[in-house]
Amino acid sequence: MAVLNQNLPEEIELDIFSRLPVKSLLQFRCISKPCQSLISDPYFFKFHLNRSLFSKNCRKVFLSSFPPQSIDYESLLDNNKNALLELDCPLWSRKSNVSIIGSCNGLICYVVDKFKVIIYNPSTRVSKELPKPPITPPLSGRICYYYGFGFDSSDNDYKVVLGMDIVADTSKSIIFHMFCLRHNYWRRIQDLSWRRIHERRRYNYLGIFLNGALHWLMIPKGIGFAQLYRVIVTFDLSKEVFSEMSLDNIQGQTDSEFYGLGAFEEYLYALSFSFSANGTSVEVWLMEEYGVKASWAKFFTIPCIVSNTCLKPLCLLRNGELLVTIDHYYNDQIKLGSYNTKLKGFTRICSFPSSSQTVLYAESVVNPTALM
């Protein structure tokens, strides 16, 4: 690594620069070649990233509106007019069908028109478009696509997973391919032979990345949506194998329909509709110890003021409240706001079109083009 000042030990220089926000680092990069060399070093990427992930002040919300935006939600709560920042993402247009695949280590992965996959750093504006996946869809019939994005720490590599399911043909397996950013190619991986995705709710085809694995909420082939049985299917990015995570111990507790998954801080959570004589409510269940099915615990419950309200917890705010999105599903807007679990009150921060998606990300200088 480059030494900027001969009178300062390298580890002190590294520590000082790792505490700076990405905006300042990009400015310092233009000062001198040693600065540029230090900030562009992959070792510095990791060092700065670890500090960013630890600090909750470096987290923001990426919004897939048009144009896409970065939301500094803590500043927005303080009525800071600079809390919303428009982004210029490659291939993003009103005419394109854009979906967020996921977020990992400050990188946003999104897909345009099903097969054009982009990995983008919203903090540095650096991006990489992946080669077209080797998938040939059939000419007719309904197709469901699965996506996932995450980091394989054993190989220091970012991986994108893409699956294709011919919904009408229950005899066929779901075909999966995976792209390794470091090796820069797609390859066929293990097929999923007897599960199909639970598709009653939006975006359940997107794998939730946590603990080195992707997670989808699914139902067995041949079981109708009216039945409440669900299972979590996981894909380990390092071992490259599928496995199952049971919801049995909580599915039988109440008359609930599990409809979604997410990651909250370091926990996996499951979302369910709970039906009772008093009406419908949304329950949030946390897996307090990853992989241990007996560790599922109810986090909180929110009454549904409007039917078919879908809730998505994002993170804890500085004031101890939860940052959440609330989607009324048939409404034309999604609300971003804070929820007080003790007072059971929701405070709206902002609203955006219902076709938009949100994902949490940490500011980083990780370069998607520098891993090959």
β partners of residue 232: 217, 245
Please say if the pLDDT value at position 18 is more than 60.
yes
pLDDT over 70, % of the chain? 81
* Category of 155 on φ-ψ map: left (φ > 0), alpha (ψ -120 to 50) or beta: alpha
Q: Provide the percentage of residues in the chain whose pLDDT is more than 90.
A: 24
Instruction: Return d(Cα 29, Cα 93) in angstroms, integer.
Output: 31
Position 78, amino acid = D
pLDDT at 3 over 50: no
Q: Which residues, 6 or more positions from 8, have their beta carbon under 8 angstroms from its beta carbon?
A: none
The 10s digit of each residue's pLDDT in 304-338 is: 755 566 778 888 888 888 888 887 666 677 788 88
Cα separations in angstroms, 251 against 8, 32, 114, 210, 355? 59, 59, 33, 22, 30
CB 16 within 8 A of CB 35: no
Bridge partners for 260 per DSSP? 271
Distances (CA, A) of 80 to 68, 83, 84, 241: 19, 6, 9, 46
Burial 243-280 (b: 16+ CB within 10 A, else e): eebebeebbeeeebbbbbbbbbeebbbbbbbbeeeeeb
Nearest to 163 by CA among 184, 140, 188: 188
Q: 248-262 pLDDT, tens per residue?
A: 777 666 566 777 889
Range list of H helices, the chain: 10-18, 22-28, 33-39, 42-54, 73-77, 248-251
Q: pLDDT tens for residues 259-283? A: 788 998 889 998 887 776 676 778 8
Query: Is the model's pLDDT at 193 over the cut of 80?
Result: no
What integer best gives the mean pLDDT of the chain? 81
Assess whether pLDDT exceeds 70 at residue 103. Answer: yes
Structure tokens at 207: 């794998």
Q: Write the pLDDT tens digit of every residue in 219-230.
A: 776 655 545 567
Tens of pLDDT along 134-174? 888 777 677 888 899 999 999 989 999 999 887 766 667 78
Q: 15-24, 187-196, 211-220, 228-237: which has the minimum mean pLDDT?
A: 15-24
Contact (CB, 8 A) for 168 and 152: no
Whether 120 and 364 have beta carbons less than 8 Å apart is answered as: no
Residue 201 burial (CB count, 10 A)? 17
Show the tokens assigned to 238: 């390092």
Phi, psi of 46 (to 5 degrees): -65, -45
Which of these ranges, 15-19, 50-54, 303-307, has the smallest mean pLDDT? 303-307
The pLDDT assigned to 329 comes to 61
How far apart (Å, rounded) are the C-alpha atoms in residues 275 and 249?
18
User: pTM for the whole thing?
Assistant: 0.87
159's enclosing H/E stretch is: strand 157-166
Helix (H) or strand (E) holding 269: strand 267-276
